[in-house]
Amino acid sequence: MTTGQATSRRRKRTPKPLDRARLEELALAYVARFSTSAGKLGAYLRRKLRERGWDEEGEPDIDALVARFVERRYVDDEAYGRAKARGLLDRGYGSRRVEEALRAAEIGESVRSELVPDEADRRRAIFALARRRKFGPFGAPPPPDAQAGLKLREKRLAAMLRAGHDFDAARRVLEAATVEELEEWVAEASDDG
């Protein structure tokens, strides 16, 4: 059997339009499979409604369904946001990228403001990024050609800024002479907190 025959036998079946029971089943399956926020769950259900349609009279009350899931603690924006922020910081992303990710996940402003990384977290994150990407004292010494060295420094600085770190912290990491110097800088922020 050729692949053309196999695909012709498989016909796309049109999914049934949603009703209240099917909508709740979709929501349950989604929260069982993925850690999510209330905003992302609502967006998912709205997308499914656009794709499949609605089989009952009146409009579906997605907000009430999401609120019920929040009340039952199937969805917890604070726990989701805390895990998301911690994961991004551990991978070396800065506070600006954390804020963008939480906003994209439709985490409310009050929860987002509680999850803003402190100075110690920001320094640990940029340290992790520098170590992973071999920037600053983790990398090879700069090339002997001054122009090439400047270009490499600018590329690394831009990468740190894109990762969500502020300019002063990125410059500090790139100018550090030793790993120990950076470790002390990170420890200073931890001691202050």
**For 40-63, how does the pLDDT look when each residue is reduced to its tens digit (9 = 90+)?**
999 999 999 999 999 888 899 999
Mean pLDDT to the nearest integer, 97-101? 96
Specify the long-range contacts of residues 43-46, CB closer than 8 Å, at least 24 apart: 43/106
Q: How confident is the model at residue 39 (pLDDT cuts 50, 70, 90)?
A: very high
Provide the 8-state DSSP code for 117: -
What the block records as the tokens of 185 is: 């800088």
At residue 119, does pLDDT exceed 70?
A: yes
Assess contact for 80 and 46: CB atoms under 8 A.
Answer: no
At residue 87, does pLDDT exceed 60?
A: yes
Question: How far is Cα of residue 88 from the mean position of the Cα atoms in its chain?
Answer: 6
* 153 Cβ contact partners less than 8 Å away, ≥ 6 residues apart: 142, 174
For residue 37, give the nearest of 69, 1, 6, 5 by alpha carbon.
69
pLDDT at site 149: 87
- Backbone dihedral angles phi then psi of residue 11, each to the nearest 5 degrees: -105, 140
Question: Residue 142 half-sphere exposure, CB side, CA atoms within 13 Å?
Answer: 18
What the block records as the tokens of 122 is: 């920001």
Q: Out of 6-20, 68-82, 164-178, which region has the weakest mean confidence (pLDDT)? A: 6-20
Mean pLDDT to the nearest integer, 52-78? 94
Average pLDDT of the chain is 92
pLDDT at site 134: 95
CA–CA distance, 188 with 120 (Å, rounded to integer): 8
pLDDT tens per residue, range 135-160: 999 998 878 888 988 999 999 999 99
Assess contact for 95 and 69: CB atoms under 8 A.
Answer: no
CA–CA distance, 74 with 63 (Å, rounded to integer): 14
Q: Report the predicted TM-score, pTM, of the whole model to 2 decimal places.
A: 0.82
Assess contact for 176 and 189: CB atoms under 8 A.
Answer: no
